[in-house]
Amino acid sequence: MARIATIESGLYRIPLPVTLSDSTHGEIAAFELITCRVRDADGAEGVGYTYTVGRNGGATADILRREIPPLVEGREADDTEAIWHHVWWGLHYGGRGGPAVLALSALDIALWDLKAQRAKLPLFRLLGGFDARVPCYAGGIDLDLSVEALLAQTDGNLAKGFRAIKMKVGRPDLASDVARVRAMRQHLGDGFPLMADANMKWTVEEAIRAARAFVPYDLTWLEEPVIPDDVAGHARIMQAGGVPIAAGENLRSLWEFKNYIVAGAVSYPEPDVTNCGGVTAFMKIARLAEAFNLPVTSHGAHDITVHLLAACPNRSYLEAHGFGLDKYIEHPLVLEDGKALAPDRPGHGLGFDWKGLAKLAP
């Protein structure tokens, strides 16, 4: 074991090649990447990151720069569980979510990367190892695309090797959403895994109406139909809508997932390792889902999450996001027959292009 010597944070604004949009976040022209580099007394380094869709990245980076180092420097780097709890409670009064838990997530990812590198193991094997080949879907941010452009984007994703697709819904009129889902189902054919994401757009009654309208098109799931705070509403949609529900990218703790699961409010728990508390919390959420016989999926950060789902017997699909990070990492995600391959390199094996990123610092 080696003690934590230094922590270094970075903030970068990464422009998207095409401005994206969904039903609640509006236009997304860039995303903010917040990095965390932890070095131990032997000089080894672990790297973690989190991100935003354009705002509050500065607050997260500031927590990593000012608040977290005094809490963890000098502690044993391998004590991920102890460090997680120490930081969680250290930031608790002004945290419990938002930038604080995003910062904790980046730190925790870096510590697990460091731990796996010191063990000379890929992260998924250190976490237990189940299957390095993880089913993967392309997460399209495509609400404002025409049907023709939507189908063209889908063909591009199929050409890349994806064998499951997620599309956006939540347009002002339900008929438009239904027409787009119908067009996608006809284009992809029966039985092809198709998901739809509403990004919290609706009321509960609107969501039930939409879910019922989507039933003929055999969705794998309908994602985030209403705001994440409404656990009872998600349960009503589950009971009355007739479509499985995925939710969790906006939940920030194991306990929030517990509330959803015990209420029967989610079919596919969907943590994001960069905002749920990192690897430590993600794996607990996955095990909790397993205890309730639920499949776990993921949101964002596919290059890290592929390791986590590769260690979960109850994994369903890994989401691959088109946020443009691939050009700044050495080893982008590899697909084979519709499955993402967890790399065999020690740690998570990303390898950031730090010189390239430095040009994007605000």
What are the residue numbers of the active site? 168, 299
Tokens of 260: 């959803």
Residue partners of 116: CB distance under 8 A and separation at least 6: 122, 123, 125, 126, 346, 347, 348
Give residue 355's identity as a one-letter amino acid code: K
Among candidate residues 151, 168, 144, 134, the one with its CA nearest the CA of residue 27:
144
